[in-house]
Structures are given as structure tokens and as C-alpha cells.
Structure 1
Amino acid sequence: MNTRTTASQSSGPLAGRNALVTGASRGIGAACALRLAEAGADVAVLGRSLPDLDKVSAQIRALGRRALVVGCDVTVPEQIEAACTRVENDLGPVDVLVNNAGGPRFQAAIMDVRPEGWQKVFDLNLTSTLLFCQRLGRGMAERRTGTIVNVSSIAVHAPWPAIAPYGAAKSGIRHLTQALAAELGPSGVRVTSVSPAWIDTDINTAYTRDPELSDAALDLVPLDRWGEPDDVAHAVVFLASPLSGFITGIDLPIDGGFSVSMPRSTRRILNRAAPAT
């Protein structure tokens, strides 16, 4: 069994901590893994694409941190159990859990969604998050320390009928986060979530590579740009670290202002309005 790295061997707000990131092969998950390592953590990266995970782990090791690659299909409970056991045996107790694995899987009108499709989306997004929280949250509660950051979606705040199962599952993650924060708070374990909006990842390639679609998507983003995976990762590091030591139970939109936005045309009208006297 590997021994825990002491704080003296590393620096940063997560020095000496062990982190586990699901869906870490690319995009937001990979960014979270790398930024957690920069903050001092040793990191286990989980996912189905081992070659991509190997690339992420090599970058983590280049930062001077330990890295562990674990193949895992998070829709299979037995694989979740095996993955958590391996991480604990090879890396050590998990101090930081980032539940990032997920995705919409398909788009369909609500009335056309089949039960099996609905279930697949919930297994990937919500049930996997629950199982990881249960499996690793118990150890955190026993040690009276630890943080969990769940990746939700701006679809929780701005429903999109074409991906209703995804939005419903992510809404479940938000509620689960709040309930766990209340339940685990007395043991010193903090639980939060983040809700990314338009982030430039593989899942949004159809939009980012099409100027017309990209412009339409950004019409409701006051910062007028696509978010980067690091925009999410830096927030995750903050929520996972002692820097946010008195924060739990929140959902943090990472959306460039999407959740409080108005169309560009309306903003232009307001900007041209005569100043108040």
C-alpha cells in the first residue's frame, strides 16, 4: 500500500490529500484532475478510455504528484466498488471526490423518451454519483474530514426540453448534494456542486465549430465567450480545498452570467437608454 504524501513534500491548499475524479479522460474531468494536482493532491483518474487516462496521469506525474489510472464504467455498481477499493489500496484514503462522469447520451422530445433511455441517463449521471458518495463518504465521515464536489449542469437552472432526462438527473444531483451536505456536515465533510453552462468540450463540438450555432448559444452569455474546462476546474479546486472551509450545500453556476442573462438585443436597448436624472 502506498503511504500518504506528507504536506512537507508538497505545497498548495490540497497538499497531502488524495483525490478521485470520475470521467477524467478529457474535458472538465481532465482539467479538474490536473488542477487538483497543481494544488498539491495526488489524483486517481477514472474513466473508460485508458489511453486518454494515461495521458492525463502522465501530466499529473510531471507536476510531481502521484497518479493512478483506474478503468471504470460508472453505470456498473460492481465496477464502482472495485475502483474505490483499488484507489484506497494503491493511493490511500480519498479526501476529495469529484463526481464528473455524465452526459445527456441523446436528445429527444420529452414525449418520445423511452423508459430504457431515461434509465440509462439516470444511471450515468445520478445513480453513479450516489454510489460514489455512499462508498467514499462513509470513510470521510469516519475520519471526520473530506470534500465532495458533484458536477451538475446549468440545465438545472434553465431547462431544455430536448435533454429533459439529463436535466432531471442533474437536478437530482443538486438535491442529493444539499441532502448530503446536511447529513454529513456534523462529521466535518463538505458537499457542494457546480453547474457548468456553455463549456468548450467535446460534448459541445457541434455548437463551438459552427459559427451560427455558437453565436446563438452565446447570445445569452453576458461574458460573450465559451467557457473553458479550467473555468470549472479552478472552481472545483476552491470548493474542494480549505479555502472554502465554511461553504457546504451550495450549487455554483459556472456560466458566464447565463443564469442572469438577457438577449444581446435587449442589452443593446438598455445600453442606449438615456441615463437617469
Structure 2
Amino acid sequence: MTAALFDLTGKTALVSGASRGIGESIARLLAAQGAHVLCSSRKLEGCEAVAASIRADGGSAEALAMHVGDAAAIEATFAALESAGKAPDILVNNAAANPYFGPMLDMDLGSYEKTVEVNLRGYFWSTVQAAKRMRAKGGGAIVNIASVNARRPAFGQGIYSMTKAGIVNMTEGFAKELAPHGIRINAVLPGLTDTKFASAITGNPKIMGMMMQLIPMARAAQPDEIAPAVLFLVSGAGSYVTGTTLTVDGGYLA
């Protein structure tokens, strides 16, 4: 009975930013629970390796290129999936950009625009494209990967934090609109996680020393510690959960 709550057999799940880190862990876990996983990122090669590894482990997966900073690419991807009968039942918006680390006053406009285009506009437009097709299918589940920075902006990550706060607000707004169509949408707020994306922090001993004083569990998370939160939210176990944020941060926001 308990295992059945997490069974995703017959579901198609699109995970953006699935070539490494948190996205890869999410893709692997959803596939392990029976979903056919569409591993996407801007560059196809990394996702092909992840999808091949999932298949080698007995799962079902394929790779596709989708740059979430390009609205036209998002539209084309979802249109092609629909034509192929693969419109996703599950969407995990995970791809993110953080091209600048430093004071907001010194940030150039190009870095600002890239951060907003990927983290906010990309999540929004991917959600719109997925939800329209989920509505036609009678339901679905969406999870947006935000960050603890949505609640507590971090020094050197001001604009990144701003976009993550926007993702939380967007999630709550969509939840009210999509619930009548059988579509649930939630956000996961990871804390510091040991990934290449977070290497500006995890690779800096001074910053890590300060972070360890702020995290009660005194360590960074591993990507596979974030993925189960996503599984809960997209599975039957989370059938009455929408518009919420699930924090996975070792106690940082406590």
C-alpha cells in the first residue's frame, strides 16, 4: 500500500536541467518509480548520458535539448512532445542560471537578464505550456525547484534570490488557477547542496565555514537528498498538496 503511493508507472515526467546535480537525481528517482523520464537541458550530451544510465538500470528515459531561457524553444519542445504522444503528466522545473556572484550594485544587465530569463520566465513559460496540455489530459503535477534564498536572500546572490522568491509566488498563484483542472503545483526549497552549480560556495572554505554555523546539521545536502521531496509532491502520496513549499535545508531556515 505504501509503495503504491509513490508508483509513477504510466506517467511521463519532464525534468529540466537533468544532466547533473539535483536534476539528475530527480530524473533517476522518478524513473526508479516507473515514470518514463524526459531528461532535458540546454546541451543534449549530458542528458543523453543520464538517460542511457537510467535505461541501463532498467528504467525508461530519453534525452532532449530544451533551453529554458528561450521561450520559442520551450514552445517547440512541448508541441513536439504532444505530437509524439508524450505530453508530460509531470513537470519538474529545475534548470537554473546564476551567472554572477557579488554585490547587486555591480551586476551587469546581461547577467541580470539571463538570470531572470531562465529562472523566472523559463519556469513560467514551461509551466504554461505543460499545464495547457495537462488540462486537456485531465490533470498533472508540477514542481518548481526554488531555493531557501527565496525566503532569506544570500549575500552575493541578490538577483538569483529575487527570482527564487518570484518562483514561490508564481507557484502559489498557479495553484489556485490550476486546481480546478486537476493540476497540482508545488515548490521545493533546497538548502546548500553539493553540486557544481553551488561550487562558488562549496569550493570556498571561508564561505563554507560561515555556512556551517548557520546550518544546524552542519553539512551541505547531497542531490539525492532533495529528490525524494519531489517524488512525494508528484506522486499519489501528495494528492492533496498544492500551492505549498517544501523546504529541504538541514534546518537553515528554522
Q: Same fold (TM over 0.5)?
A: yes
SS at 1:236's partner residue? helix
2:227 pairs with 1:236: no
Task: Note the C-alpha offset of 1:127.
Answer: 0.3
Task: Note the C-alpha offset of 1:91.
Answer: 5.8
Show CA shifts across 1:43-98 (max 9, x none). 10111232211111012212333322111221111111122223334462210000
Residue of structure 2 in register with 1:169 after alignment: 163
2:201 pairs with 1:216: no
CA contact (8 A) 1:12 1:40 kept: no
Q: How far apart in 1 are the matches of 2:229 and 2:5?
A: 19
**Which one-letter code corresponds to 1:217 in the other structure?**
M
Residue of structure 1 in register with 2:245 after alignment: 251
Task: Note the C-alpha offset of 1:199.
Answer: 0.2
Pair member with larger Rg = 1
SS at 1:203's partner residue? coil
Question: Quick one: percent identity of the two aligned structures?
Answer: 33
Show CA shifts across 1:188-220 (max 9, x none). 110000111110000222433454433322211
**Which one-letter code corresponds to 1:139 in the other structure?**
R
Q: How far apart in 2 are the matches of 1:11 and 1:66?
A: 19
Residue of structure 2 in register with 1:115 after alignment: 109
Distance change in 2, residues 1:212/1:107 (3 Å): closer
Show CA shifts across 1:11-44 (max 9, x none). 9511110000001110001111000001110010
CA contact (8 A) 2:15 2:91 kept: yes
5+ residue gaps, structure 1: 1-9, 261-277
Q: How far apart in 2 are the matches of 1:33 and 1:90?
A: 20
Q: How far apart in 1 are the matches of 2:84 and 2:251?
A: 41
Residue of structure 2 in register with 1:270 after alignment: none
Task: Note the C-alpha offset of 1:256.
Answer: 0.4
Q: How far apart in 2 are the matches of 1:43 and 1:70?
A: 10
**Which one-letter code corresponds to 2:175 in the other structure?**
A
CA contact (8 A) 1:18 1:96 kept: yes
CA contact (8 A) 2:6 2:231 kept: no
- Which residues of 2 match residues 1-277 of structure 1 at below 5 A? 13-90=7-84, 92-260=86-254
Distance change in 2, residues 1:11/1:238 (3 Å): closer
CA RMSD, 1 decimal: 1.8
Distance change in 2, residues 1:119/1:207 (3 Å): closer
Task: Note the C-alpha offset of 1:102.
Answer: 0.5
Which moves more between the two structures, 83-92 or 142-151? Answer: 83-92
SS at 1:92's partner residue? coil
**Which one-letter code corresponds to 2:198 in the other structure?**
N
TM-score scaled by length of structure 2: 0.93
CA contact (8 A) 1:44 1:87 kept: no
Q: How far apart in 2 are the matches of 1:59 and 1:180?
A: 34
Q: How far apart in 2 are the matches of 1:31 and 1:254?
A: 15
